[in-house]
Amino acid sequence: MHGGEDLSSLVKFKDESNRILESGKFLVHKWESNVESIESNGMPNPTTFLGHMWEKREETLEITVPDYPEDEPVTKRSILSHLGSIYDQLGIISPTLAEGKRIYRNVCDEKK
């Protein structure tokens, strides 16, 4: 993931990255970008990025958080299981996950 100030800096980054990777025999087949002139032909919009939906033209990233099952009792195990099921490699929703961890801590404190 990389950003640039203007189109020329992005083109320069793409060309230099291709050159460096090709020198190590790593061939880049596709480029995804919110700038159509930089990305490879035929790339879909929206697409996925690290498991999340990326709307390139609107520059939005959609992170799906599953609902906690209403019929499931609230236990330490179920809370940890639910928190662990949320995939957020970029750490974008860490503040929200921190709230879930606080709930878990409160449940643990109540059990003592």
The answer on pLDDT for 86 being more than 90 is no
Determine, yes or no, domain membership for 81: yes
Q: Given this model, what pLDDT does residue 16 score?
A: 92
Q: Are residues 48 and 93 in the same domain?
A: no
Domain that holds residue 41: 7-62
Answer whether residue 112 shows pLDDT above 70: no
What is the per-residue pLDDT for 87?
81
**DSSP-derived pairing of the beta strands 52-55 and 60-62:** antiparallel
pLDDT digits (tens, 9 = 90+) for 22-41: 999 998 878 777 777 776 77
Q: Which of 53, 60, 47, 56 is nearest to 87 (CA)?
A: 53
Q: What percent of the chain has pLDDT over 70?
A: 92
pLDDT tops 70 at residue 66: yes
Tell me how far apart the 2 most distant CA atoms of the chain are, in Å.
61
pLDDT above 80: residue 107: yes
Distance CA 86, CA 97 (A): 9
The predicted pLDDT at position 39 comes to 67
Residues 61, 92: contact at Cβ < 8 Å? yes
Same domain, 52 and 71: no
| Residue that terminates a domain, selected from 21, 38, 62 | 62
Whether the Cβ atoms of residue 66 and residue 77 lie closer than 8 Å to each other: no
Mean residue pLDDT across the chain:
82
